[in-house]
Amino acid sequence: MKLGIVGLGGWVTTGHLPALTDLGIKVDYCADIDEKRVKDFSQKTGCKGYLDYKEMLRNENPDLVLVAVPHSLHATIALDAINSDANVYVEKPMATSFQEALTLVEASRKRNKVLVVGHENRFNPAMLIAKKLIRSGEVGKIYHMRGFYIRQRGIPTSPTFIKKDLAKGGAVFDIGTHIVDLLLFLSDFPMPKSVTGKTYSAFSNDKTKFSVYPSPNLPNFKVEVEDFGSAFLNLGDEISAYMEVSWASYIKENKMEVVVLGNKGGIHIDNGMLNFMRNIADELFLSTPSTQQQRGSVYREVWRTVMDSISKGIPEYPLCSAEQGAIGLAILESIYKSALEGREVKIDIPQWLLKQSQPVS
């Protein structure tokens, strides 16, 4: 299988490439507009480098393309790859509008290509154990969920994330997409009905104090997107959810937390550690799975599953399919619309999309 990568930033070199190397998966082609990046990556991997991804697609016809570029380019490049007859792994969010996401869904279905979205947090052992508990009925009927992804000092320094034309959105698109996906994934994708959202740019003019990223701060680039977002979600079937994400906050510690409340039990995942609560013999018990320790690299598990999926022609559990990614995108888009207009926003998702999003495990 011929693998091409479009975009050679830090997430590819520190996350994807080590996993690919561990699995013995060869990178055949790469493309980036930065000539030095292409040269360095080509020398490191032995792949053939391009400065124009379209030329790479046209000349090489890769079987699989990893798209890891600024958010605003995800949909365009992923669509070009699909139309060149390639399967696609696109980083999150898959697009910056629901309509773009639908276009990708329709194109991948028309050409019978696998398209998966980079929501690697599903592969965290705690999330997979939580999913197993929920599906086995141990939690009962879910009525409320909440998710937090909050940093003390985590405003990105790269223009890729903070300039409006490149990123389209800030913390909501960057890390809020993970929380929305986990809430939908754990609850088996109920029909989203409405969203009430708020966004803030609390530290935009003071980013040098609120980032610990290793790359140098760029004083000439103003943060043009939000650093905080929150939303109340009506997911239908009497399920409500609350999410809160922030690149920078005056909090005690960085936190990634997901809570699922059911009428028989509850799940609390805090920075990768899972606790399960339920009544036994009229006593409230709290337990932690003994098999919860991390099983190697999450990205290694992601890529192993991606390769299995392409050989079978369908996204394998627990990968995020194009249909699931599109539903998450509809929620993200509605958060921004609600914050802009100061009102609750209804979400209209086609029934066929919801039906096709139902996970198979």
pLDDT given at position 116: 98
pLDDT given at position 159: 86
Q: Please give the Cα distance from 311 to 264 (Å, whole number).
A: 39
Residue type, 103: T
Tokens matching residue 180: 């929305």
Q: Please give the Cα distance from 346 to 152 (Å, whole number).
A: 32
Q: Please give the Cα distance from 77 to 91 (Å, whole number).
A: 11
pLDDT given at position 213: 62
Q: Please give the Cα distance from 144 to 130 (Å, whole number).
A: 15
**How far are the Cα atoms of 15, 72, 173, 208, 214 from residue 10, in angstroms, in the given order?**
8, 18, 18, 20, 11
DSSP sequence for 230-275: EEEEE-STT-EEEEEEESB-S-SS-EEEEEEEESSEEEEEETTEEE
Choosing among 3.40.50.720, 1.10.10.60, 3.90.1300.10, 3.40.190.10, the CATH entry for 3-119 is: 3.40.50.720
**pLDDT by position in tens, the chain (length 361):** 999 999 999 999 999 999 999 999 999 999 999 999 999 999 999 999 999 999 999 999 999 999 999 999 999 999 999 999 999 999 999 999 999 999 999 999 999 999 999 999 999 999 999 999 999 999 999 999 999 999 998 888 888 999 999 999 999 999 999 999 999 999 999 999 999 999 999 987 776 667 766 555 555 678 899 999 999 999 987 899 999 999 999 999 999 999 999 999 999 999 999 999 999 999 999 998 876 555 568 999 999 999 999 999 999 999 999 999 999 999 999 999 999 999 999 999 999 898 888 765 5
* Domain limits, the chain: 3-119, 122-297+322-349
Cβ contact 361:132 at 8 Å: no
The separation between the first and the last C-alpha atoms of the chain, rounded to the nearest angstrom, is 25
pLDDT given at position 164: 95
Closest listed residue to residue 37, CA positions, set 26, 46, 53, 49: 49
Q: Which runs of E-coded beta strand occur in the chain?
A: 3-6, 29-31, 48-50, 64-67, 87-91, 115-118, 142-150, 194-200, 228-234, 240-246, 255-262, 265-270, 273-280, 283-287, 320-321, 345-346
**Measured at the alpha carbon of residue 150, what is the angle toward residues 147 and 156, in degrees to the nearest 5?**
130
Cβ contact 298:124 at 8 Å: yes
Enter the CATH code of domain 122-297+322-349: 3.30.360.10
Closest listed residue to residue 155, CA positions, set 246, 220, 243: 246
Cβ contact 181:324 at 8 Å: yes
Closest listed residue to residue 63, CA positions, set 82, 44, 45, 47: 82
- pLDDT (tens digit per residue) in 253-275: 999 999 999 999 999 999 999 99
Could you tell me which residues come within 8 angstroms of residue 153 by beta carbon, excluding any fewer than 6 positions away?
209, 210, 211, 212, 248
Phi and psi torsions of 316, nearest 5°: -80, 145
DSSP sequence for 278-294: EEETTEEEEE--TT-S-
pLDDT given at position 206: 73
Closest listed residue to residue 72, CA positions, set 94, 96, 98: 96
Q: Is the bond preceding residue 318 a cis peptide, omega within 30 degrees? A: yes
Q: Please give the Cα distance from 236 to 238 (Å, whole number).
A: 5
pLDDT given at position 361: 57
Could you tell me which residues come within 8 angstroms of residue 70 by beta carbon, excluding any fewer than 6 positions away?
160, 166, 167
Please state whether the predicted TM-score (pTM) of the whole model is above 0.75.
yes
